[in-house]
Amino acid sequence: MKRQVQVLLIMGVLLMAGCAGLETRIDEAPIANAATKADHETLATYYELKAKELTKKAEGSRHKASLYGVLPYGGPKSSVTFAQYYNAVASRLEDAAQESLALAKQHREQAAVAQQ
């Protein structure tokens, strides 16, 4: 039985590690060198996808907050509850999503005036 639990834990860790690479990323060089309409459109699309990703993560955190509720986060003597922790995480993710949408809007505006 103990061996089965260990195998399941290892499989879970491997699955989580495999999903870690799914997050949308971009290098800093294309942002600094964006000059054409296509460059700005690409960056705007990236930032919109990033905002969707962050919003989805925020929804997951809000869901966790509702599930775990008043259970103490960090141990039985902690004054912080899971709900407080996950709601704070969700707020930070939502703020990041709004920043990403603002950057997307900025690049859409730059794409409108950029040369081909």
- Domain-embedded: residue 97: yes
Cα angle 19-24-29, degrees, rounded to a multiple of 5? 135
- Domain-embedded: residue 12: no
Look at residue 21 in the predicted model and tell me its pLDDT: 45
- Domain-embedded: residue 6: no
Instruction: Tell me the pLDDT band of 7, cut-offs 50, 70 and 90.
Output: very low
Above 60 in pLDDT, residue 106?
A: yes
| Averaged pLDDT, 23-27 | 55
Look at residue 20 in the predicted model and tell me its pLDDT: 47
- Domain-embedded: residue 7: no
- Domain-embedded: residue 44: yes
pLDDT tens digits, one per residue of 51-102: 999 999 999 999 999 998 888 877 777 788 888 999 999 999 999 999 999 9
- Domain-embedded: residue 9: no
Give residue 54's domain range: 26-113
Above 50 in pLDDT, residue 18?
A: no
Q: Residue 75 carries which side chain, given as an amino acid letter?
A: G
Q: Which residues of 105-115 are buried (b: 16+ CB within 10 A; e: fewer)?
A: eebbebbeebe
pTM: 0.69
- Total number of domains constituting the chain: 1
- Domain-embedded: residue 16: no
- Domain-embedded: residue 87: yes
